[in-house]
Amino acid sequence: MLQEEKKRSEMMPKSNFKLFMMLPILSWALYDFANTIFSSNITTIFFPFYLQEVVGDSERMNQIASTFISYANAVSSFFLVIFAPLFGVLIDRTGKKKKYVTAFTLISVFFTMMMGFLAMEDGGGTVGGLPLSLILVIICFVIAKFFYNSSLVFYDPILADISTKENMAVVSGFGTAVGYIGTLVGLSIYPFVSSGNYHEAFIPTALLFLLFSLPFIFFTKEKEVEKKVEKASFWSGYRDIIATFKEMKSYKAIFYFMIAYFFLNDAIATAVAMMSVYSTAIVGFGAGEFILLYLVSTVASIIGSFIFGFICKKWGAWKSIVAVGIILIVALSFAVVATNSALFWVAGSLFGVSLGSLWVTTRTFIIELTPQEKRGQFFGLFAFSGKVSSVVGPFLYGTITLLLADYGNLASRVALGSLIILVFFGLFFHQFVRKYQA
């Protein structure tokens, strides 16, 4: 194994530019580009705008719209909580990753397109006072986001197949930076979306997601690993997961980082999901102004992720994650107290830096901490941790806005402030990782 790694390292170009232009690495990075179009357009911008357009017509109803968005994200993450660990076991059993990324991407694209078709329907009656078409769009969103997130469980470990230990952080940073450039391309459809009809963005987003996934599907190659095909059911993978948890006393650094990752991801994922509604309902941004803010935040993410790839290589992943956590606390604090657009612009820019950098540093650190023979399981468990947090965070945010809806905008400020506490918890548990890190 070490000889294979050494041989692969010797074959890698010394120039970063030549490294990034290698077809397997570039096509892998372009999938980050593709799925970020889905994440930004659907999860962060146009789906929340669509819900606010259909549901929110007052301060109180804006909070109810926030609750809908939060709970839809929480339900999607709940299903991933069930399946993510099993996906990790599947990677370790078969060594196959690419075919699952491909299949799950196609399913996500299909249901994103269905969101667009269903949102066009005016008829169909109502259920519980809500248009049936709205309920069906929300269901399609839950399914599309579930399969989008599921694809990432298989996609991220491919980083170890196309890079070496020496350049992994830099390649991870490059992939994340390319991914956030995808945000800019995704937003190119905004001028073609008529005012008040944000559902018109759903189908073009699905097509862009599919288009930019094609290089990954055709050109990315995962490392061939000989695996013994086990005659066991998919659900029997829980036995392997339980066994891995029992072995956690031998992997204390991984265990503590999983807890830290839970809280850090909780804050990030919830803030991303609620960013558009918060900025428009609380700070008073119009849709166009939020799109501009999001563009600036995305540029900050691109710069931050690319730079933190090199910082991570120089400082190490542990220190880099601490730095990202501090930036995130500052960004959220500014957003909570912002009463004017200027302070929120600063908050959005800093949040962009932390958003891009967190994924670069944590993805690299997970690979550093985990043994190769169990990497699939541990990626599955980290996805499990991340998605449990993606249930808890939006559920917490949505419940606060629901309970405090009669207090208007204060509800959202309190909900966003709760995320700062989560980041502090994440950094607290992160301190224990260094103690047990080999």
Residue 111 identity (one-letter amino acid):
F
Residue 264 identity (one-letter amino acid):
L
Q: How many of the other CB atoms lie within 10 Å of CB of 399?
A: 15
pLDDT at 152: 86
Q: Is residue 12 part of a domain?
A: no
Give Dmax (Cα) for the chain.
Answer: 65
Q: Is residue 75 part of a domain?
A: yes
In this structure, are residues 295 and 184 in contact, taking their beta carbons and an 8 Å threshold? yes
pLDDT at 394: 75
Q: How far apart are the first and last CA of the chain?
A: 20
Distance in angstroms (rounded) separating the CA atoms of residues 281 and 250: 48
**pTM to 2 decimals?**
0.72
Give the domain range for residue 370: 23-223+242-436
CATH number at residue 65: 1.20.1250.20
pLDDT at 269: 82
In this structure, are residues 52 and 58 in contact, taking their beta carbons and an 8 Å threshold? no
Distance in angstroms (rounded) separating the CA atoms of residues 360 and 6: 24
Q: How many of the other CB atoms lie within 10 Å of CB of 236?
A: 13
Q: What angle do CA 83, 86, 88 make, to 5 degrees?
A: 115
Q: What angle do CA 425, 429, 431 make, to 5 degrees?
A: 120
Q: Which two tokens stand for residue 435?
A: 């103690």
Q: Is residue 276 part of a domain?
A: yes
Q: Which residues contact 38 (CB under 8 A, 6 or more apart)?
A: 108, 112, 144, 148, 186, 205, 206, 209
Q: Is residue 1 part of a domain?
A: no
Q: Is residue 9 part of a domain?
A: no
In this structure, are residues 437 and 252 in contact, taking their beta carbons and an 8 Å threshold? no
Q: Which two tokens stand for residue 401?
A: 């806005």
- How many domains are there within the chain? 1
Distance in angstroms (rounded) separating the CA atoms of residues 162 and 413: 43
In this structure, are residues 280 and 287 in contact, taking their beta carbons and an 8 Å threshold? yes
Helices (H), 95-192: 98-119, 132-155, 159-162, 168-186
Q: Is the dihedral of CA 420, 425, 430, 431 positive or negative?
A: positive
Q: Is residue 7 part of a domain?
A: no
Distance in angstroms (rounded) separating the CA atoms of residues 63 and 43: 17
pLDDT along the chain (438 residues), means of 10: 51 66 87 91 87 69 68 80 75 81 96 94 66 87 92 84 77 79 87 84 96 91 62 63 70 85 87 80 81 86 83 86 93 89 90 85 80 69 68 78 80 88 93 77
pLDDT at 63: 64
pLDDT at 70: 74
Q: Which two tokens stand for residue 421?
A: 């506490």
Q: Is residue 189 part of a domain?
A: yes
pLDDT at 1: 47
pLDDT at 101: 93
95: left (phi over 0), alpha (psi -120 to 50) or beta: left
Q: Is residue 237 part of a domain?
A: no
